[in-house]
Amino acid sequence: MKGLRKYIAPFAPDQSGATAVFCELGGLVIILDAGGCAGNVCGFDEPRWFDSKSAIFSAGLRDMDAILGRDDKLVEKIAKACEKIDGNFVAVIGTPVPAVIGTDYSALKRMIEKKTGFPTVTVDTNGMELYDDGVKKASLELFRTFTGKNIFTRKDASGQQAETQSDSDGSTEVLPGTLGIIGATPMDVVETAEPDALARYYKEKGWQQVFIYGMGTGLADVERAHRAEKNLVIAPAGLAAAKYLEKKYGTPYEAAYPLETIPGFETLMEEVGKKERKKILIVHQQVLANSLREAIRESSEAEITVASWFMLEKELREEGDVHLKEEDQWMSLVRDGGYDLIIGESLFMRAVPEYAGDFLPLSHFAVSGKRHV
């Protein structure tokens, strides 16, 4: 039956993915809901909420607000919040409510900017898609709005326009030795004990500066993203933003995941190599799964299939890779595939207790919502 889940829990939705992109950038993030969606984001889908501060708010929409489309009341509340929060932009994240009533995000953006003076980003997520769709939309809007811009205006306490200078100097010259990492959110990055593991790894590889957009870097780094020497896409949700930066600024990109940063990666590879494998199934986000496949191929002749419940971009896809949509499809794939090894999130195995081959766990927060470090 379409959509029926008996064993596998629901995955993180698109509004959670969009919120994750803005979490560390210092803006005022408004989830356009009555309260439930924001509660789900902060209570389950955003692990950084428990360790650090971020200005994430629910719009607190009431029934009549939604029915009558009272955007003016929403804008008024956002303006009051801007007076109390030391932020540098506003991000409005869509949910099922604005999707149902047909909210005009372009008009809402203009109203907020006129009222508050803050640059505003709107993301038309609807709560019905998966997290990677939200990450894709939010990342693209983020770079479209801020990259290459070094001055924005806002209203001061007296209501007058005041210019705010960012750390970006307005230059368009490429910064040699600068690497931008796109698509990095807790949804897709396997959690490490050290929050700066990704940046440290690439600096050890010779990069002088590493900007992990959305994780550990600020808005000023997004503003000068056009000056990066190269971009690295570590999840398929970041591919659209990388293509935009390549087309507009000529920044080349590569899709790969730094497997060495995964806790226990060496042990995982040792376990893979303990036996002669004939068929291996890797279930994760596409870029990580592809990188793992290439690593295993260096020492194995096994037939390796990548499967994912999330984006499978055509340019990164091999023949035979599987885009999963239904729980029954997953059960059939495992039952009929003849795999002697499966690598993926442990939660998936609840649906296939009859599987007799080997299994190696590889956490995926968007699937399980569990922190493993």
User: Rounded CA gap, 248 and 271, in Å?
Assistant: 44
111-137 per-position pLDDT tens digit? 989 988 899 999 999 888 999 999 999
Domain ranges across the chain: 14-165, 175-259, 262-368
Pick the CATH number of 175-259 from 3.40.50.300, 3.40.50.1980, 2.170.130.10, 3.40.50.2000: 3.40.50.1980
Give the per-residue pLDDT at 48: 67
Architecture of the domain made up of 14-165: 3-Layer(aba) Sandwich (3.40)
Average pLDDT over residues 258-273: 93
Alpha carbon separation from 108 to 7, 91, 113, 114 (Å, rounded) = 40, 11, 9, 10
Exposed (0-12), middle (13-18) or buried (19+): which is 218, by Cβ within 10 Å? middle
pLDDT confidence tier of residue 340, bands split at 50, 70 and 90: very high
For 23-32, b where at least 16 C-beta lie within 10 A, e where not — what string?
bbbbbbbbbb
Output 35 or 351, whichever has higher pLDDT.
351
Domain 262-368 in the same topology as domain 175-259: yes
The answer, yes or no, to whether residue 145 has pLDDT greater than 80, is yes
Q: Does pTM surpass 0.85?
A: yes
- CATH no. of 262-368: 3.40.50.1980
CA distance 309 to 130: 9
Q: What was the pLDDT predicted at 367?
A: 86
CB-based contacts of 243, cutoff 8 Å, min separation 6? 253
Taking only the tens place, the pLDDT of each residue in 276-302 is: 999 999 999 999 999 999 999 999 999
Q: What are phi and psi of 112, to 5 degrees?
A: -65, -45
Confidence of residue 169 (pLDDT cuts 50, 70, 90): low
Residue 59 has pLDDT above 80, yes or no: no
